[in-house]
Amino acid sequence: MPLRVQLVRNATLLVNVGDVTFLVDPMFSPPGENPPVPNTPNDRRNPLVPMPDVDVSHDAVVVTHRHQDHWDEAAAAELDADVPLFCQPADADAFAAEGFTDVRPVDEAAAFAGVEIHRTPGRHGHGQLAAEMGPVSGFVFDGEESVYVAGDTIWYDPVAETLDRFDPEVVVLNGGEARFVEGDPITMGVEDVAAVREATDAAIAVVHMDAINHCLLSREELRSAADGVHVPEDGERVGL
């Protein structure tokens, strides 16, 4: 199977590397099931949109961090308890407490079915707010070709260093320019995406939009402002 990324919804992805399918950041709640992210410019309940009709069959699960728009109660209830579940070390105990029996915290790197999985740095915002948002990670899936899923991060030096180190064929960015009433955005906006575009020759897909109340940058706005990137709709496969 060729290298392929499918956006499910928000940050939920199916990443195919060779014959292996990784389900990334599963959020399965129906629309309005969860409260709005507080202290934000609107009070719409989350998720804003339904799940598309997508087969989410997978070989393993990868969770970049445990914020509710990346891991929710619906996913915890639906996924098999014995699924191989890769995560950042800070989150391992919480997954085990939920009953998952094959939790595999990734310090620096791990392997699964011939794919090397590298955990990469992320900064979920600016200044003190980034510290308050807690640890976040990205992951590189390295097989015959490689995919860099950056996770919830802004553009900063370690993202550039990850691009230089792994030279991926595909980069997936979390856009949406998520923000609170005060402070700078905590995920990528137009300028961040443009900086990544400038730094790599990889194909770039931007997700994490139009699904959560505090993500204020829409797909339409990003498509109008950013050149040379894919902005998939929910359920869309991006063959890269």
What is the SS3 assignment for 73? helix
How many C-alpha atoms does 125 have within 13 Å on its Cβ side? 17
DSSP code at position 19 = T
pLDDT at residue 234, as a whole number: 98
Closest alpha carbon to 188 in 147, 217, 231: 217
| Burial category of 163 from C-beta neighbours within 10 Å (exposed 0-12, middle 13-18, buried 19 and up) | buried
What is the SS3 assignment for 64? coil
pTM over 0.75, yes/no: yes
Distance of CA 184 to the CA centre of its chain: 20
Q: Say yes or no to pLDDT of 1 above 60.
A: no
Domains of the chain in start order, with CATH, are: 4-239 (3.60.15.10)
Give the sign of the dihedral formed by CA 150, CA 119, CA 167, CA 234. Answer: negative
pLDDT at residue 195, as a whole number: 98
Report the chain's mean pLDDT, rounded to a whole number: 96
pLDDT at residue 3, as a whole number: 72
